[in-house]
Amino acid sequence: MFEALSSRLNGVFDKLRRRGALSEADVNEALREVRIALLEADVALPVARDLINKVRERAVGAEVIRSVSPAQQVIKIVNDALVEALGGGEGIEAPGLDLNAPAPVPILMVGLQGSGKTTTSGKIALRLRTREKKKVLLASLDVQRPAAQLQLQTLANQTGVTSLPIIPGQTPLEIAARAMDTARRELYDVVILDTAGRLSIDDALMDEVAAVKAATRPHQTLLVVDAMTGQDAVNTARNFQDRVGVNGIVMTRVDGDARGGAALSMRAVTGAPIRLLGAGEKLDALEDFHPSRIAGRILGMGDIVSLVERAAETIDRDEAEKLAAKMQKGQFDLEDFASQLKQVGKMGNLSGILGMLPGLGAMKDKIANAKIDDGMIGRQAAIISSMTRKERKNPDIIKASRKKRIATGAGVTVQDVNRLLKQFDDMSAMMKRMNKLGQKGLMRGGLGALLPGMGGGKRPF
């Protein structure tokens, strides 16, 4: 999400930075371009207009134009306005889920069909069970699709939480009442009520959802919207807010290439904060929504905090320390290289990771052209696993016939094998040079060498 917007804005700001001194006209011209970029990213018109007006008011002041780095000031003002639009501000880090109510806390999931309600219910259940040690009951009120209740039951099994037993023929209201009864009797902390969606807004859906809401009085009514639907997501949200009333939004499919404007419009249009993001089909692909980090990502400043958090969750610390020690002693071999690749692979989508790195936002296109794709890691790993243990420990013995055998085994060409070996050579050489720089330099060198075209290596395959 946000790639196009991010690269447009970076273009505008690069131009501004090159100016040096800024006149009021320069700022106005830049803001006009920012406005176009926002609209192209599907930000709702009034939201874009307000944001620009706010920025202009703050930026056209004499201090900015006379300051040492006027462009930087303008960017900072745009950043702050984006954070505000995203629902953040002084002291607001991330709204997250609000469970601050007597147990059992009811959470009602609403939204259109296919927006991701059921999947998100499972994700929230998993997170509450594992991170917060909550006792969670999942209940499907979806009597529209025959398999819907079973879908939730399966998710409950996968996440290790209980789902309300299915009684065929019950109405959503009856199921909701039974869920709340069960939760009170069996002392659940949280009850997640997953409702049926429709393909589009209709009265029957709204009435049904409103009735369930009135009967269960949920502490959180979460509207689930699909980021890929852009402006429609905003219209859907407005409708649900008017007719049902929601106090939180979950935006799903942010792992896709949505333009992101909906995220920027939601707060202004509905008054409700985006609380969570769905970033994939897997049950652990749920993220808190951090306005300031997202703004940083949009402005190409990189979301280094999220990156470090993700790394801390996925990278095996012992393994990393072992590798670092080996690097320092110059004993790093292809087996270690493969292990490093595996760690990077575990962190997920490579371009997603790159997007979080500061300064790389603007390089996105270049990276895309260099065709760094996630398959690359897999192919490199395949090449290394086609080698014998001896070859991995001592790559120098890999000559023509061995290369041919390895390439055939990995389903790649001999050139691919050569490229990998060259990359490994570059990396080893760099490590030796960096030994003097200590750990920090090493880590940087390690990552750089993994990203051909940016570090020591050559073109990726």
What is the contact surface with Mg ion in residues (CB under 5 A)?
Answer: 117-118
The interface region with ligand GDP, picked from 44-52, 77-85, 93-101, 273-281 by CB under 6 A, is: 273-281
Starting at the earlier edge strand, list the strands of the sheet with 190-194. Answer: 162-163, 136-140, 190-194, 105-110, 220-226, 248-252, 274-278, 286-288
Return the one option of ligand GDP, Mg ion, none that residue 186 interacts with (CB less than 5 to 8 A, by type).
none
User: How many residues are listed for the chain in this entry?
Assistant: 461
| Residues numbered 168-207 forming contacts with ligand GDP, rule: CB under 6 A | 197
CA dihedral 429, 432, 438, 444 (to 10 degrees): 10
Residue placing its CB nearer to Mg ion in the complex, 118 or 265: 118
Residue 50 CB, nearest distance to ligand GDP (Å)?
29
Q: Which two tokens stand for residue 357?
A: 């790195």
Residue placing its CB nearer to Mg ion in the complex, 56 or 123: 123
Residue 148 CB, nearest distance to ligand GDP (Å)?
7
Return the one option of Mg ion, ligand GDP, none that residue 265 interacts with (CB less than 5 to 8 A, by type).
none
Closest CA to 303 of 261, 353, 232: 353
Rounded Cα distance, 10 and 32, in Å = 14
Task: Tell whether residue 255 is a contact of ligand GDP (CB under 6 A).
Answer: yes
Neighbours of 131 (CB within 10 A): 8
The interface region with ligand GDP, picked from 36-44, 198-206, 250-258, 287-295 by CB under 6 A, is: 250-258
Any binding-site annotation on 419? Answer: no
Residue placing its CB nearer to Mg ion in the complex, 118 or 221: 118
The interface region with ligand GDP, picked from 165-173, 251-259, 325-333, 413-421 by CB under 6 A, is: 251-259
Encoded one letter per residue, x for contact with ligand GDP by CB under 6 A and - for no contact, window 106-135 reads: -----x-xxxxxxx----------------
Closest CA to 270 of 294, 245, 296, 306: 245
Any binding-site annotation on 252? Answer: yes
Residues 6+ apart with CB under 8 A from 371: 460
CA dihedral 243, 245, 248, 252 (to 10 degrees): -20
Q: Which two tokens stand for residue 79?
A: 């950043």
Residue 282 CB, nearest distance to Mg ion (Å)?
17
Residue placing its CB nearer to ligand GDP in the complex, 107 or 406: 107
Residue placing its CB nearer to Mg ion in the complex, 117 or 310: 117
Q: How many residues bind ligand GDP (CB under 6 A)?
A: 18
Residue placing its CB nearer to Mg ion in the complex, 118 or 153: 118
Tokens 């002041």 sit on residue? 61
Tokens 């609380």 sit on residue? 275
Residue placing its CB nearer to ligand GDP in the complex, 7 or 349: 349
Any binding-site annotation on 198? Answer: yes
Residue placing its CB nearer to ligand GDP in the complex, 177 or 283: 283
Any binding-site annotation on 49? Answer: no
Rounded Cα distance, 245 and 264, in Å = 20
Any binding-site annotation on 254? Answer: yes
| Residues numbered 308-347 forming contacts with ligand GDP, rule: CB under 6 A | none
Any binding-site annotation on 336? Answer: no
Q: Which two tokens stand for residue 341?
A: 């690749």
Any binding-site annotation on 253? Answer: yes
Any binding-site annotation on 265? Answer: no
CA distance readout (Å), 257 to 1, 41, 352: 5, 11, 11
Burial class (CB in 10 A: 0-12, 13-18, 19+), 40: middle
Rounded Cα distance, 432 and 264, in Å = 47
CA distance readout (Å), 237 to 46, 192, 288, 424: 16, 20, 19, 51
Cβ contact 355:3 at 8 Å: yes
Rounded Cα distance, 429 and 327, in Å = 11
Rounded Cα distance, 43 and 140, in Å = 33
Return the one option of Mg ion, ligand GDP, none that residue 119 interacts with (CB less than 5 to 8 A, by type).
ligand GDP
| Residues numbered 212-241 forming contacts with ligand GDP, rule: CB under 6 A | 224
The interface region with ligand GDP, picked from 31-39, 82-90, 127-135, 248-256 by CB under 6 A, is: 248-256
Return the one option of Mg ion, ligand GDP, none that residue 116 interacts with (CB less than 5 to 8 A, by type).
ligand GDP
Q: Which two tokens stand for residue 49?
A: 């207009």
Residue placing its CB nearer to ligand GDP in the complex, 221 or 340: 221
| Residues numbered 274-313 forming contacts with ligand GDP, rule: CB under 6 A | 278-281, 285
Rounded Cα distance, 350 and 147, in Å = 35
Return the one option of Mg ion, ligand GDP, none that residue 114 interacts with (CB less than 5 to 8 A, by type).
ligand GDP
Q: Which residues are annotated as a binding site for GTP?
A: 111-118, 194-198, 252-255
